[in-house]
Structure 1
Amino acid sequence: MPSLQKIENAVDPHHHFWSPKTHDWLEKVAESGHPAGPFRSVLNYHVEDYAQDAATFNVTKSVHVQAHFSGEPVEETKWLQEISDKSGFPTGIVAYADLTKPDVDSVLAAHCQYSNMRGIRQMIDYHPTNEQWRQCPHDKFMTDDAWLTGLQLLPKHNLSFDMQIHVPQMQVASEVVRRNPNVQFMLNHAGFPYTFTDDAIQSWKEGMSALSRHDNIAVKLSGFNMYYKEWNKQVLHPLLEYAINTFSVGRCMFASNFPVDKINGKYADLLGTYLEVCGDLGYSQANAEQMFRDNALRLYRL
């Protein structure tokens, strides 16, 4: 098993900046109400905090992903571009747009006036039984004609789509990906393999297999310790092994999901553990460089 070296100029393709002033929902989960645990310790997470964390793993480029900004969607992109212009982070921006709205084309155009704009995330993860695991009020977006029409506008603006879904949604999602070959999809957080029963893991594997058949979807390997507070190599090994084998090295990206994952771990420990598992699985240094840097550079056009 190769001993992998820390990646030079690593890229983190999934993180957030926030405070209660910019994201008013944070106070609601300060003590409870989120799968990761109480947010009190990460209520304020600014570019200075991120830069300090990212430096512990040689990260020099990053992608900020929307997370229920309190203002207008384009205002978030403007805010992030101003931060980047001063600090260098984030290098890419994945913003919010409601793809069902009649004015979505003009909203996408407004986002794209900012040079770091790269993609859209509209969180469509809906769990049929656990309300705490729902980021939207229903599970009808992927079969809604208006939403699908909005999705088809993304290539016009050279934008990708960050797809955040739960395991029961994967088969429908696979059909959406198949029907939109010109859209680059990024599956968030490995599709949330959060239940370790045999049936649940089998459903996750079947869903990942269905999605991976389409060349226009990549997967972000992140967010595991939102659900596994006692995460370690033993927990991560079978999940990462299956995800990488199924999607291939060329379509996998490791990400921090900070500051959410900061609740249950340190930046260098988390990314370092991912790197150790890659070594345990027999991946080469060149493979690791793809998954910790090169794939994100290519897929997010950084």
Structure 2
Amino acid sequence: MAVTAAMVKELRERTGAGMVDCKNVLVEVDGDIERAIEVLREKGLAKAAKKAGRVAAEGLVKEAISKDKKQGAIVEVNSETDFVAKNEQFINFVTQVADMVLENDVKTIEELKELPWAEDKNKTVGDILTEKISVIGENLTLRRFIKMSTTGTIVAYTHGGGKIVSMVEMDGEGPKVEEVGKNIAMQVAASNPQFLSKSDVSEETIAKEKEILLTQALNENATAAKPKPENIIEKMVEGRLGKELFKEICLLEQDYVKEPSITVEKYVVQELKSKDAIKSFVRFEAGEGIEKKAENFAEEVAKQING
């Protein structure tokens, strides 16, 4: 019986085994998918599929930057435990994937998974990921990546051995630009801004925040010994927007972490004579936004002991 691409795809989805392994086993069993599943299990190649339901909320973020500093890439791969995130095999895998994102033009996770693996062109990134799941013994998830390109300079900063990676696109080139870029990348890692400047914040975001602040102020005013007029309350809210919201979410408005008496914008102008020196930035934090399953450690050990 002829083995089709659809059959290989179905077997891969049902077992989590690699594309090449699925094809070879289907040929071996003359296209019998149910028998192919049994063979893959017998060979230990379907082991990964059993772990697919586990929550991978830990992990590692890695960056790669081209020699000319014109391109940069960040990749996040998740694991179930922090222990595995420190595993050398896992670290090497994430590092290699970051290099592949840098060297290739891929837009989606699926495209990335289909790339031929650098060290074995007969296997894909997805195949290697499945193999790592089987060897390491945890569910691993290739979660997200980004690639940046510039005519200026790309600078990155890694915190906590790969817990957080920030990348900044700077206008211009040279040691001074790289130094300032590194400091800005550290700021991004520490302060997690959402926008570059106030002009990037949508009217919708401002209106929603203003509504929240106004409600807070009115509630405070209702219990105050000397309530203020409504027009005064509105002015107070406008003041809070500038002091609280923009300072929290806008990079240029934040207090500079190395010298809190000045803003990031003032620092950049001071060093590079331009308030437009920062073009863009991105920040990846491992496991960010993934709901972690709360486990009782004693119960988990008991479960494993009792099978």
> TM-score scaled to structure 2, two decimals?
0.24
Counting strand residues as a fraction of each chain, which structure ranks higher?
A: 2
TM-score w.r.t. length of structure 1: 0.24
